[in-house]
Structure 1
Amino acid sequence: MQLSLVNQWLLKPWVKPLLWLLCAVPFAGLMVGLATDNLGANPAEKLIRETGEWTLRWLWLTLAVSPLREAASLPALLRYRRSLGVTVFIYAVLHFLAYAWLDKGLVLDDIIKDIYKRNFILVGLVALVLMTPLVLTSFNAAIRKLGGKRWQALHKLVYAVALLGLLHFYWKKAAKNDVSEVMVYAVILAVLLGWRAMRKGGVMGMLKVR
């Protein structure tokens, strides 16, 4: 009965705008910290790091929607997955812009040289590029135009994005000999992808479009 009430609550029209507000809170907090000079000794580094980590957190939460939906018997959760996916892309763009602006001064030549020089930046950029068609087709009109199977096949790129995002984070942290936090993200991702693989009968089943 209680689960049924929660599911009905999730279907309320005001819940999705509330979700968007909640998604904006981390970035708003960073902006307040920047305005009040409360981001520590290196505000630029803080902005770059935090927008990157929030990108991963939102991505992991997006991947958690299906397991939570099934485990908690809350089918209405599915209506928020695309909103969370768009949030992932927004934070990824903010992360890249923070790096390009605050670290490289928007100097294109320096950015390109850095991409070739540092593997973790290249991997992060590839993940961002792969996210772009996902967010551009995250609307009902795109689903109708592509067709269900093609849309599903395209959106399985999210698994590659997650793995590339984790690798980007690992290489960044490994350069500072600090990978303990990365291991937490890796375990969570392993659980989320492992659930999908078991449910679909293995990795190939997880990737197959049904």
Structure 2
Amino acid sequence: MALPVLVLAVRWVMMIMGSDPRAVGLSAEPIDYTINYLGLWAIRFLILSLAITPLRTWARWSWLAPLRRPLGLWAFACALLHLSVYFLLDQLGSFSLLWESVAKHPFILLGMAAFTLLLPLALTSTRGAIRRIGARRWQALHRLVYLAAIFTAIHFILRVKGFQPEPWIYAGVAAVLLLVRALPTAWVRRA
């Protein structure tokens, strides 16, 4: 699961050591490329984590269960890196530049909202946190992932210029996964 971040890190090291950013796969705009790359992997990991329960239910692939938490944590890690690169490298760590960008591009606020929803999920992903919070409250808290997925999908759709199918495909997959969770479980198990 760390491979996408490792590949990105290797590309950055090669660029810092003098290679042309285009030659190492970072495009002519390495910061923009990195922001987009990390955001894309964040949504991929988020969707994969949401797919675990339906696959366990329908395909009876119980072996997938242990992957849900790591996938969710990788979604958070990529989102954290995505936001960090955006704030530190693109916005130069300036809150005034950040607020100007948010005013011009409201999709940034949706991305920050999604990240804010993922933060308590990452912080409470341990067994100890589940014991302290209680399983019922922990499950209720972790339902924030559904809202985070919606915000992430909208953030991605609004981020791209013009109509591009890729964000709509991710949004559609996320919508299907959320809809499947809303279906009565008796119907899901019979299918």
TM-score between both structures, scaled by the size of structure 2: 0.87
Q: Tell me whether 1:26 sits opposite 2:11 in the alignment.
A: no
Check the 8 A contact 2:154/2:171 in 1, yes or no.
no
In 1, Cα distance between the equivalents of 2:175 and 2:101?
A: 30
CA distance in 2, matches of 1:33, 1:136: 30
Please state how far the C-alpha of 1:157 moved relative to its aligned partner.
Answer: 0.4
Compute the RMSD of aligned alpha carbons.
1.7
SS in 1 for 2:125: coil
- 1:30-74 CA deviation, whole Å, 9 max, x = no partner? 122223332111111110100001000000000001111122322
Distance 2:101 2:138 in 1: 34
The percent identity for this pair of structures is: 39
Q: Tell me which amino acid in the other structure corresponds to 2:178.
A: L
Q: What residue is the counterpart of 1:148 in the other structure?
A: 135
Which residue identity lines up with residue 9 of structure 2 in the other structure? Answer: M
CA distance in 1 between counterparts of 2:70 and 2:172 reads 24
User: How many residues of Structure 1 are paired with residues of Structure 2 in the alignment?
Assistant: 178
Task: Provide the rounded CA distance (Å) in 2 between the counterparts of 1:77 and 1:199.
Answer: 22
Q: Where does structure 1 differ by over 6 angstroms across 4 or more consecutive aligned residues?
A: none
For 2:36 and 2:108, locate their aligned partners in 1 and report how far apart those are by CA, in whole Å.
13
TM-score where L is the length of structure 1 = 0.80
* Structure 2 match to 1:35: 13
Partner of 2:58: 71
Q: Which of 84, 88, 93 lines up with 1:101 in the alignment?
A: 88
1:60, 1:152 → 2: CA distance? 18
What is the distance in 2 between the residues matched to 1:89 and 1:154? 15
User: 1:65, 1:195 → 2: CA distance?
Assistant: 12
SS in 2 for 1:40: coil
The answer on 1:195 being equivalent to 2:180 is: yes
